[in-house]
Amino acid sequence: MTTTPDVRVLTSSDGCRIYADAVGDSSKPCLVFIHGFSLSAAVFDNIFFDARYSSEFFLVRYDMRGHGRSGKPDTIDEYASKLYADDFAAVLHTFKVRRPVVVTWSLGATVTADIAAHLPQDTLAGIVYMAPCPYIGLMPSIGTPFILNLLYDITSADDATSADDNMQIFFNSCFTDAEKTPWETRALWQGMSTFQRPRHRRFVVSRTQDPTRLLQLGTEGLPVLVLIGTKDPQIRTESLRTEMKKSFSNVDFYALEGAGHSIHYENKNEVMKRIMLFAKKTLTVRKKSDNICRVEKQPGSFLHLNSMARVQICSSRALFGYNGTLAKLALYEMDKCESRLLESIHGQPGSEEKIAEHTIRAKLISQ
C-alpha cells in the first residue's frame, strides 16, 4: 500500500486528455471520487493522503473534462453526456477497475447520469452522493435560490472582474466559515478555478443529460448513500430528501447536523465512516453475486439448475472451485440440499453426466 499517487494522463474517446491518479492497493475494493464545479480532484487530498482510507480501499480520482488538469474543450458538443461516460470508462480501464463504488460531490454527482445512460448497467456497484445534484435537470428543484442565482451570474459574466467576484462568493459558500478555513486550502481551491474560462463553466452546467436510465436503476435497487449538511447553502436538504426517496428504492439518507457544503473536507471522519460502511456492505454483496455468476459461466457448470436449487446452494454456503474445465469442485454442507439439487437437474440436458460428476465430487475440498 502506498500514499504516493499513481498519476496517469489518459486519452478519452474524443482525444480529450483526462488527469487521474490513484493510491492504495489495487487488489482492494475500489472507490472512485468525482469532484465538484470549477474544482479538481485535489479537493480530496485530505482523504487520499490519509492512510486509514488508502489501507482499506483502492482510491481513484480524476479531473472532469473542462476542469483542473484535464483538457478543456471549447465547444458545447465536446461536453456531451456520452463523452463524460467515456471519460469515466477510460479511468476504470486505465486502473483496471471493475464495478467500483463511485463517490461524488456536488456537481460531480451529475456524472452518474452519464454513466447510467451510456455504460453497461453493472458498471457501478453503488453510488455515494455528497451534497449532490444527481443530474443537471434537477438543479431547479433542489438548489437554493442563492446558488441558482449565483450560477447564473457566474456563467453569464464574461468580464474578468465580475467572474472573479462571483467565484469568490461561490468558494466562500463551500465552507461553513470561510474565514476560519486555512488560507492554504482556500487558496488551493480558488486557484483551481483559474484554469477555467467562463465558457467552460457555462458548458459544464448547461450540457444536456437524460436521467431516465439512472432513475430506472434507482427504482430497480441500485445501492445509494446520500450525505448532506443541514447548513448547506447550496442544496435544500428536504427537497433533496424528497427527490431521492422518490427516485431510489435502496437509498440511505443522512443529514449531518450543522454541516455545510464541503462535508468531505469539514466533516471527513464522519463522512468517511459512513462511506466505508456503505462500500464494504455494497461491495461484499457484489462479490458474492459475481462469484455465483462466474460459476454459472464455467464449462460444465450447473447452468441448467433452476432458481430454487441455486438458492439452496447459497443457503448451504456451497463453495464452487473450478480449474479450467471443472477438474475441481468443492461443495460444503450439501447434505441439506443434495437430494433436491440432483432432483432439480434430473432430465435436463446432460443431466446424467452432471449427476455423476456431482456424486463423485460433492463435499471434496478444492485443492
Give yes or no for a contact between 55 and 181, defined as CB atoms under 8 angstroms apart: no
348 and 216 housed in the same domain: no
Using the 3D structure, point to which of 256, 289, 322 is the last residue of a domain.
289
| Average model confidence (pLDDT) across the chain | 83
Query: Has residue 367 been placed in a domain?
Result: no
Cα 319 to Cα 331: distance, rounded to the nearest angstrom: 5
pLDDT value for 9? 97
Q: What pLDDT is stored for residue 324 in this prediction?
A: 37
Same domain, 278 and 315: no
Within this chain, do residues 318 and 223 fall inside the same structural domain, yes or no? no
pLDDT at 282: 92
Q: How many domains does the chain have?
A: 2
Question: Does residue 1 fall inside a structural domain?
Answer: no
What pLDDT score does 160 carry? 66
For the beta carbon of residue 10, count every other beta carbon within 10 angstroms.
17
Quote the pLDDT of residue 163. Answer: 77
Identify the residue whose cell numbers are 438548489: 143
Q: Are residues 266 and 350 in the same domain?
A: no
- H runs (alpha helix) in 207-306: 212-219, 237-247, 263-266, 268-296
Residues with Cβ within 8 Å of residue 104, at least 6 apart in sequence: 33, 34, 111, 112, 127, 128, 129, 130, 132
Place of cell 437437474: 345
**Domain co-membership, 329 together with 217:** no
- Residues 234-278: pLDDT tens digits? 999 999 999 999 999 999 999 999 999 999 999 999 999 999 999
- Shared domain check, 45 and 139: yes
> Could you tell me the pTM of the whole model?
0.79
Which of 263, 289, 315 represents a domain boundary (last residue)? Answer: 289
pLDDT digits (tens, 9 = 90+) for 78-93: 999 999 999 999 999 9
Alpha-carbon distances, residue 25 vs 58, 97, 172, 286 (angstroms): 5, 12, 35, 19
Query: Mean pLDDT, to the nearest integer, of 92-96?
Result: 98
A 10 A CB-CB count for 14 gives: 15
- Same domain? For 38 and 187 the reply is yes
Domain that holds residue 63: 6-289
| Cα of 98 vs its chain's centroid, Å | 11
- Domain containing residue 70: CATH number: 3.40.50.1820
Give yes or no for residue 1 having a pLDDT over 90: no
pLDDT at 23 over 80: yes
Q: Assign 288 to helix, strand or coil.
A: helix
Identify the pLDDT of residue 21. Answer: 98
Task: List pLDDT tens digits, range 27-79.
Answer: 999 999 999 999 999 999 999 999 999 999 999 999 999 999 999 999 999 99
92 in a structural domain: yes
166 touches 153 (CB < 8 A): yes
